[in-house]
Amino acid sequence: KKSHNLITLFWFLSVSSDGGEVDNNISKLKSSNACVSCNLNRTYLSKSNFREVDLSGASLSSANLSETKLCRTIMPNGFTDNSGC
């Protein structure tokens, strides 16, 4: 189930990415389940499932996070969000 959720997430990310840096960060997220201090600006993340993903320090400016499920996800501010567990 976890890999299915990540595949959905990566599809949303790749559809909305704005250049090579974001594409590289999507690859980083795929390979390590983390995107620490990386740029995910202006990505469409709506209805994604973030489970045990480390996004500490990530830039999510103007990212669409509506209806995103968070469970044991480390958010950019360093705190863990469990709202979707």
pLDDT digits (tens, 9 = 90+) for 49-75: 778 889 999 998 888 888 888 889 899
Structure tokens at 13: 């990310």
Question: Is 0.85 topped by the overall pTM?
Answer: no
pLDDT at position 6 is 57
pLDDT at position 69 is 82
pLDDT at position 78 is 92
**pLDDT digit string, tens, across residues 24-39:** 887 787 778 888 999 9
pLDDT at position 56 is 92
Summary count for the chain: helices (H), strands (E): 2, 4
